[in-house]
Structure 1
Amino acid sequence: MNTLKYLLGTGFYSGLTPKAPGTAGSFVALLIVFGIVYAQIHSLLIIFIISSGLLSLWVASYFEEEFGKDPQIMVIDEWAGQGLTFAAISFTGDLLTNVTLLITGFILFRFFDILKPLGINKVQKAKGGFGILGDDLLAGLFALICLKTLIFTWPNLFGMN
């Protein structure tokens, strides 16, 4: 059972990257989101976010017992937050526009997840899996709000006229 938790919690080992495991895990999540966007199955994105979140809660105690508080190698929580960044984004079907949206959302999510402004740091201090997951979901929500604002303010930047 612990082998399965390790596999899932590390985002299929993407969290084992020696430098910036959270960024590596977020990038793997971005690739999954790209596949979902490309397939144009928006409901699958919601399933991805919910399942990543629930898996985070399931594996969190194992990771904290084995590796300490909010271990960097656990990146399944980044998957949920990275997915949430795109939950309310209308993708166009145009590859260049969609890739621009995905890259922008990725950068915004990493900004909020790394710097933890606007109370994200306080959420991270919650006990157990809720702190581990909560800060990433809040970072994803802030990234989503910023991405929607950018789309609304500068639609030409994203090829949306």
Structure 2
Amino acid sequence: MRLIKEKVITDENAKVDMFSNLFASCFYIGYFPKASGTFGSLFGVLFFLFDDFKRPEILLPSIIICFIAGIYTSKVMMKRFGDDPSVVVIDEVVGMWITVMVYLFFSKGEYGIYTLILLFFFFRFFDIVKIQPAKFYDNSKTAFGVMMDDVIAGIYAGLSAFALVYIASVIITHT
């Protein structure tokens, strides 16, 4: 478990098309020298500043499209940067979106800025710790695995955050 991964080019001759580079790195956020995964997750949070993005008919297709495109672009980036390259942060964006989607599903669509902050920290925790099966996908060294370990982390984060908020609200209302 490394919080800061060094950006290493493993194959100088491998070509990366502009779309794959822009998409997988989320407009070069992945090239930040430190904490690119954290900044990628924050980029994912920014979408929820627009109320319409939380609507299922917008959020779910966005997740599916970016997940599929993330697999393709991650595979391209892996040829140049090796397994699970730190320049690829689209997986963090998708994982963050899944975190919010899972939370919204159970909370009936309610959240505020403090909830988004909580969801962000829960996602970063589960993304870094990699509880099974996330660790399995992380170790698979495939483009699908790059994306899938963050999907699992997002599910864990959304469920855990909802449980915490629910338990806290029950305790507060019964005191």
Per the normalisation by structure 1, the TM-score is 0.86
| Cα shift at 1:13 | 1.4
Match of 2:57 in 1: 43
Corresponding residue of 1:52: 66
Q: Quote the residue 2:43 is aligned against.
A: 28
- 2:17 alignment partner in structure 1: 2
Please state if 1:62 is matched with 2:76. yes
User: Which moves more between the two structures, 136-145 or 120-129?
Assistant: 120-129
Structure 1, unpaired ranges of 5+: none
SS in 2 for 1:86: helix
Q: Count residues with an aligned counterpart.
A: 153
- 2:13 corresponds in structure 1 to none
Contact map agreement 1:91 1:98 (CA 8 A) in 2: no
Instruction: State which of 82, 105, 117 in structure 2 corresponds to 1:103.
Output: 117
Any conservation in 2 of the 1:124–1:135 contact (CA below 8 Å)?
yes
In 1, the alpha carbon distance for the partners of 2:169 and 2:58 equals 26
Indicate whether 1:81 and 2:95 are aligned.
yes
Measured against aligned partners, the alpha-carbon deviations of 1:73-132 in whole angstroms (never above 9, x if no partner) come to 10111111110001131343xxxx511111111000000111212332122122421110
2:144 pairs with 1:130: yes
Structure 2: how far apart are the matches of 1:145 and 1:41? 19
How far apart in 2 are the matches of 1:49 and 1:75?
14
State how far apart, in whole Å, the 1-side matches of 2:65 and 2:158 are: 19
CA contact (8 A) 1:21 1:73 kept: yes
Letter of the structure 2 residue corresponding to residue 139 of structure 1: A
The percent of aligned pairs where both chains have the same amino acid is: 29
RMSD over aligned Cα, in angstroms? 2.2
**Aligned twin of 2:158:** 144
Code of the residue aligned with 2:153 in structure 1: it is: A
Q: Deviations over 1:5-40 (max 9, x none)?
A: 1000001111111111000011001101332xx235
**d(CA) in 1 for partners of 2:170 and 2:41?**
26
Candidates 13, 29, 46, aligned match of 1:14: 29
| Alpha carbons 2:84, 2:141 under 8 Å: kept | no
Uncovered stretches (5+) of structure 2, i.e. residues with no partner? 1-15
